Amino acid sequence: MSASSLKCDGSAAGHGACMVNRRQFLLYSGAGAAAASTMTITLFPGTAEAATQKARVVGYPRKRIARLSELKDHHPLDFTYPDNFANAQCLLVKTGGVEAGGGIGPHGDVVAFSYLCTHQGGPLQGTYQATGDQRTLGPCPFHLSLYDLRRHGIIVSGQAYESLPQVLLELDGDDVYAVGMMGLIFGRDKNLMES
């Protein structure tokens, strides 16, 4: 019985006829790789050319949102930032003398955050809590995510896996300005939307 007449029939001889040995595998795979790389170059001419692009730098707007002297401890102030498009609802709060990461003012206790839970965009309006020295936002009505406002809005518990986007603040005399965002606003692929 010749090797050419063997069939892959499940017998030991048939199995050997259907198998590729190591030498044949390396030979076939090397030839296949060479053919694929040659075809890629010849099928798509000019793809390696670089295109000149102008850099586009867009800064966050500087928006006055409050007067420091008018803020009351534990009374959140609602505002929109960085624009007036969807998902721009934010809160500014004076945490009552408890210093917070990114806080401004004499005690570093004035902070601002997005009002949308980072898990599924649940609304966090009305959930600010001050208990002892803890300052939290949440729990989210969807899946109970809770955020620590003293530590840049880091997730404390719940389903979320990202911190709340924090609004960067600047104090100019008695005026509080929003000047940027730290973190991606829920439901957007970029913070600065275009009209």
Query: What φ, ψ does residue 12 adopt, rounded to 5°?
Result: -60, -40
Q: Are 174 and 74 in contact (CB under 8 A)?
A: no
Q: Are 181 and 60 in contact (CB under 8 A)?
A: yes
Which helix (H) or strand (E) is 45 found in, with range? Answer: none
List, in sequence order, every residue forming a beta bridge with 113; answer none if it has no partner. 91, 166
Residue positions annotated with a catalytic role: 119, 143
Q: Are 120 and 142 in contact (CB under 8 A)?
A: yes
Q: In Å, how far are 34, 79, 93 from 74, measured between CA atoms?
A: 68, 16, 6
Q: Which two tokens stand for residue 152?
A: 């840049």
The strands making up 134-137's β-sheet, listed across from edge to edge, are: 128-131, 134-137, 146-148, 154-157
